[in-house]
Structure 1
Amino acid sequence: MSDTLSALAPAKLNLFLHVVGRRPDGYHLLQTAFRLLDWGDQLQFRCRDDGQILRMTDVPGVPAEQDLVVRAARRLQAAAGVSAGVEIHVDKVLPMGGGLGGGSSDAATTLLALNRLWRLDWSRARLQALGLELGADVPFFIFGRDAFAEGVGETLTPMCLPPSWYVVIAPGASVPTAEIFCAKELTRSTEIIKMPDFAIHTTRNDLQPVVCHRYPQVADAIDWLNHHAAARMTGSGACVFASMETEAQARQVVAQCPERWQAWAVSSLQRHPLYDWAV
C-alpha cells in the first residue's frame, strides 16, 4: 500500500434544519436531512515514521493547532496507540463559515484516510464515535451517505434521494455557528417529524431568520435566488442553495449571479469517496 493518499472532503447541504429542543448540557436537539455534494476541499496525506502530525499548508485564519484535520489525526493517533505520524496538505475550496461542513468534512476524511494509511481497520461506528468528539457533523461524513439526522446530528438513518443539481451561493459573510445557536430569538420547539414525512412536510431552516436578521447579505442572496427556484440557507449559513432541474439550468443561474457573490453549480453525491475505507 502506498504511504501517500489523496482524497476529496465533500461538502454537505442541510435540505432542512429544525431545532426541536435543547439538552440540559446546552446542546441543541435537531432534525435535518443531510445531502452530500460532489464538491469540496482536497486533502493529501503522507505517512511519517517519527510520530509527528504536521499540516503542511497555510489555511488563512486557522492556526494548525486549531485545525480539525490536525486535531482529528492526533485524536486517532492517541486512541489507536499509533507510533506513525502524517503530513497533511489541505487545498481549501469551500468557503469557511458557510454552513457547508468544510471543517467537519476535512476531519472525517482525515479519520477515514488515516484508518487506511495507518492500517487500523477501525469500524465505521468506532470512527463515528471518535468523530463526534470533534464536532456534531463529523459522524455524518464518516457515515458517508445522504441521511436523516436526529439528536445533536449523530443519530443517522440513510436516505435514498434522486440525483440533483444545485446552485450554491456564498454571499460574502462568515457566520459563527455558536453565535446563531446562542441567539435568544432562535426557535427551539419545532414539531418533531418522521423521516417518511419529510418530503411532503412543510420544512424550513430554523436558523435562517436569525442569520438573515444579523447578516442582511444572506437575506439578499436568498431573495435573489428565489427568483430562479425555491432558495434556503444551509446549516447555520452563510451559504444559500436551490435545487435545479438540470445541470444546464444550474450553470445558467450561476452565470447570472451578481459579481459581489460567489456561486457554483454542483451535483449531488451518492456516497462519500472513501466510503469503502471503513465497514
Structure 2
Amino acid sequence: MSSVVLSERAAAKVNLTLRVGAPRADGYHPLDSLVVFADWGDTVEVRPAPGILLTLSGEASRSLPADGSNLVLQAARALQSAAGLADGAMIRLDKQIPVEAGLGGGSADAAATLRALNRLWELDWPLDRLAELGLTLGADVPACLYSRPLRMRGIGEWIDILPAFDPFDAVILNPGIAVPTGPIFKAFDAAEPAALAEAGPMGDNRLDWLREERNDLEAPAIARHPEIAAALDWLRMRDGVELARMSGSGASCFALCRDRASAQAAAEAWDGFAVAVQLGGTSG
C-alpha cells in the first residue's frame, strides 16, 4: 500500500460580523456574516488504509469523541458514499482549536477532511461540488471548504468570495468555557427576533464599517455566560486594539489590532488560551 501522506490545514473561522434573522419554518436561521480565516488552526492528515479510521492528537482533542459523531468521520464516509468508492483512509486530526468555541473547529475539520480525501482518492471534485456535500454536514462547512474571506448568507450555502482583502493582525482568546450553539440560538429566539436585515456595502474604510456592524448572538451568549463580557472588556482595554467582538455563538472573542506586536502582547498577557494571528488576506 502506498505510503503517501497528505495534509490540509483546518483554519479557525472568525465571524467578523454576524447578523441573524428569525428562524424559518424549517428551523434554520437566515444569516449574513463577514467570515475570515486565521493562519492558525487544526491539521488533518490522510493516508491510504483498508477502511476509514481516525486518530486524534493535540490538547483540544481531549474532549472530542473519535466515534461516528465526529464530523471528520462523517465527512469521510459521506464523500466515500457520494463517490461510490471502496477506498479507505487513515485520518489523523491534530486538534488545536478549542471545542464549542465559536471558531468553526468541527466544520473546519470536516472541510479539511473533504479536501484531503478529494486529493488522496484522486476524485478531482471542484470546491463547489464538495461544498454541496459539505452543506449536508453543517451550515459552516461550505465556507470552511473555501477558507478565504467571504460573505456568507442564506443558512451558509450562499457564499460570495471577496476577491481582495488585506489581513488584520488580531488576537483570538477563549475565556475557558465551552458554549454549545443550540442553547444560544434558543435564547436568541426567545427574544422574538425580527426578520433578517442584511448589511449594507462595506465601503472603503473596513474598520468604520465593522464598528457599525455586530454579532447578533453576542447578547444572548453574554446573558448566559458573563465570562464573555469580561473577556471583551479586557480586550478593549489592551493597547493597540481597534475592535473587539465575539465570534460565532461564542465563547471565543477576537480583537483586531493596530499591528502584530499589539496582538502578540495581548495574547501573552491573557491568563488562559490566546493566540496572535492574521485574519483574512488574499490578493484575489
TM-score by length of 2: 0.89
Task: Give the alignment partner of residue 64 of structure 2, picking from 62, 65, 71.
Answer: 62
Q: Give 3-state SS (helix, strand or coil) of 1:108's partner.
A: helix
Aligned to 2:195: 189
How many angstroms apart in 2 are the aligned matches of 1:185 and 1:173? Answer: 24
Measure how far apart 1:245 and its partner are. Answer: 1.5
User: Pick from 227, 243, 251: which aligns with 1:238?
Assistant: 251
- Counterpart residue identity of residue 218, structure 2: Q
Aligned partners of 2:68, 2:269: CA distance in 1, in Å? 40
Shift of 1:256: 2.0
1:195 Cα deviation from its structure 2 partner: 4.0
Pairing partner for 1:262 from 263, 273, 277 = 273
Q: What is the distance in 1 between the residues matched to 2:233 and 2:193?
A: 22
1:34-78 per-residue CA deviation (whole Å, 9 max, x = no partner) reads: 001100011211111x2x111122633332211111000000000
In structure 1, how many angstroms separate the alpha carbons of the residues matched to 2:159 and 2:201?
Answer: 11
In structure 2, runs of 5+ residues without a counterpart are: none
Task: Assess if the C-alpha contact under 8 Å between 2:15 and 2:35 holds in 1.
Answer: yes
Could you tell me whether the CA contact under 8 Å between 2:56 and 2:95 is conserved in 1? Answer: no
Return the alpha-carbon distance in structure 1 between the equivalents of residues 63 and 274 of structure 2.
22
Q: Which of these residues, 206, 219, 223, is aligned with residue 213 of structure 1? A: 223
Q: Counterparts of 1:113 and 1:189 in 2: how far apart (Å)?
A: 38
Equivalent residue number for residue 23 of structure 2: 22
2:20 is equivalent to residue 10 of structure 1: no
For 2:42, give the aligned amino acid: D
Match of 2:117 in 1: 114
1:176-195 per-position Cα deviation (integer Å, ceiling 9, x unaligned): 11111122137343522234
Task: Supply the RMSD in Å over aligned alpha carbons.
Answer: 1.8
Identify the residue that residue 276 of structure 1 maps to in structure 2. Answer: none
Counterpart Cα distance in 2 of 1:6 and 1:144 = 15
Structure 1 residue ranges without an equivalent (≥5): 272-279
Q: 1:128 to 1:226 in 2, by over 3 A?
A: same
Q: Normalising by structure 1, report the TM-score.
A: 0.90
SS at 1:16's partner residue?
A: coil
Q: What is the SS of the residue equivalent to 1:267?
A: strand
Residues 83-133 of structure 1: CA distance to partner in whole angstroms, max 9, x if unpaired? 110111111101111111111000000001111100111121110000000
Is the aligned partner of 1:129 residue 2:132? yes
Which residue among 203, 207, 210 is the counterpart of 2:213?
Answer: 203
CA distance in 2, matches of 1:220, 1:186: 26
* 2:84 corresponds to: 81
* Residue 147 (str. 1) matches residue 146 (str. 2): no
Whole-Å separation in 2 of the counterparts to 1:186 and 1:233:
21
Whether 1:224 aligns to 2:234 is yes
CA–CA separation in structure 1 for the residues paired with 2:144 and 2:3? 24
- Give the distance between the partners of 1:13 and 1:85, measured in 2 at CA: 32
Residue 28 of structure 1: SS of its match in structure 2? coil
Q: CA deviation at 1:168?
A: 0.8
Give the 3 Å change call, closer, same or farther, for CA 39–73 of structure 1 in structure 2.
same
What amino acid is aligned across from residue 270 of structure 1 in structure 2? G
Q: How far apart, in 1, do the equivalents of 2:97 and 2:194 lie?
A: 29
1:10 aligned partner, one-letter code: A
In 2, Cα distance between equivalents of 1:69 and 1:186: 35
Q: Which deviations, in whole Å up to 9, do the C-alpha atoms of 1:216-274 show, x marking residues without a partner?
A: 111110111111222100000000011011111111122222x2x21111112436xxx
**Within 1, Cα distance between the matches of 2:235 and 2:26?**
37
* Alignment-mate amino acid for residue 12 of structure 1: K
Helix, strand or coil: the match of 1:238?
coil
1:172 aligns to what SS in structure 2? Answer: coil
CA distance in 1, matches of 2:256, 2:192: 26
* Aligned residue type for 2:146: F
Alignment coverage as a number of residue pairs: 267
Q: Which residue of structure 2 aligns with residue 275 of structure 1?
A: none
